[in-house]
């Protein structure tokens, strides 16, 4: 499934420096897996394709909602991560 959300990392989550341009912005994400370890154990994990952000716990995504692929693709292309 395809989702859009506003990326708002919590203070307890560590990300690399690549996320600074995405904080507070709408991002296109895909559903991943359920986290089994760490402070976000049991939460759904999401990821941004073609990025080095890694796993994003649901708690770091605001206004998460399912969207059609066409809308997802527009948001994804706007992030500049689509290198194809």
CA distance 12 to 65: 23
Name residues whose C-beta falls within 8 Å of residue 5's C-beta, 6 or more positions apart in sequence: 26, 27, 29, 46, 61, 62, 63, 64, 65
pLDDT at residue 5 above 80?
yes
State the pLDDT confidence band at 11, using cuts at 50, 70 and 90: confident
Q: What is the pLDDT of residue 13?
A: 74
**pLDDT tens track for 20-40:** 888 899 999 999 999 998 888
pTM of the model: 0.85
Sheet holding 56-57, edge to edge: 56-57, 44-47, 26-34, 2-7, 61-66
Domain ranges of the chain: 1-9+24-50+67-84
pLDDT at residue 50 above 90?
no
């Amino acid at each position: 499934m395809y989702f859009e959300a506003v990326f708002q990392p919590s203070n307890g989550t560590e990300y690399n420096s690549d996320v600074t341009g995405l904080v507070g912005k709408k991002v296109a994400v895909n559903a991943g897996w359920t986290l089994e370890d760490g402070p976000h154990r049991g939460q759904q994990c999401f990821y941004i394709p073609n990025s080095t952000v890694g796993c994003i716990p649901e708690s770091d995504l605001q206004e998460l909602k399912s969207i059609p692929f066409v809308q997802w693709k527009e948001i994804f292309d706007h992030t500049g991560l689509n290198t194809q």
